[in-house]
Amino acid sequence: MKMIIIFIFDKWGENMAAYKTIQRTCILSFLEANIGQDFTVKQIVEGIQADDSACCAPSESTVYRIMSDLVKRSIVRRKINQDREYQYRLTDQNPGKISLRCKICGKDQHIDENVCNKIMDELKNFSSIGIDADIEILGVCDKCK
Ligand SMILES: [Zn+2]
C-alpha cells in the first residue's frame, strides 16, 4: 500500500496530557464509541457501567471534573439541554491521533492509541521536526482495491 503522510498541525503535546489517567481514557473511549451523540454526566457514568469491556467505573463527580478539563482542552464540546443540564460530545476532530483514510471512498479508521504513541515516538526520534500534529495516512481500503 502506497502511503502519503499528512501532518495536520495541532496542539499534540497539550492534548496528549489529557490521556494521562485511565479514567480519562475510559471516558474518551466511551465518547469515541458513541461519536456524534451528546451525553450528560449521568449518561456517561451509566454508559460506562453498562459496558463490560470498560476498564473503570468513574463516579459522577470524577466524570464532571474530567469533562470540565476536556472542555478546556477543546477535546470535548459542552452545551446545555432543555432540562438545563450540561451535555457533552467529543469534538469532531480527534486530537493527536493517527487515522487511516481511504482516498477513494473516504472511510476512516482510527489506530489503537498505544500503536499511535509508538509511531509518534519513532517519528520524533527520526525527525528533527517536532511532531505537534494529527496524522492522516491515505491508502485504499479493501472495498475500493
Ligand atoms: Zn475505500
Residue ranges of domains in the chain, CATH in brackets = 4-12+94-144 (3.30.1490.190), 15-90 (1.10.10.10)
Q: What is the mean pLDDT of the chain?
A: 77
Residue 54 contacts residue 111 (beta carbons within 8 Å): no
Kindly indicate the confidence band of residue 133, based on its pLDDT and cuts at 50, 70 and 90: low
Can you tell me the distance from the alpha carbon of 95 to that of 16, in angstroms, rounded to the nearest whole number?
A: 8
Give residue 140 CA to ligand 1 midpoint distance, Å. 5
Q: Cell numbers at residue 30, please?
A: 466511551
Residue 70 contacts residue 23 (beta carbons within 8 Å): no
Give residue 136 CA to ligand 1 midpoint distance, Å. 15
Give residue 36 CA to ligand 1 midpoint distance, Å. 22
pLDDT value for 97? 66
Residue 5 predicted with pLDDT over 50 = no
Average pLDDT of span 100-113:
84
Give residue 109 CA to ligand 1 midpoint distance, Å. 11
pLDDT value for 55? 66
Give residue 60 CA to ligand 1 midpoint distance, Å. 40
Of these ranges, 10-14, 18-22, 64-68, the one predicted with the greatest mean pLDDT is 64-68
Residue 1 predicted with pLDDT over 50 = no
Residue 72 contacts residue 52 (beta carbons within 8 Å): no
Give residue 102 CA to ligand 1 midpoint distance, Å. 5
Give residue 45 CA to ligand 1 midpoint distance, Å. 35
Kindly indicate the confidence band of residue 140, based on its pLDDT and cuts at 50, 70 and 90: very high
pLDDT value for 18? 42
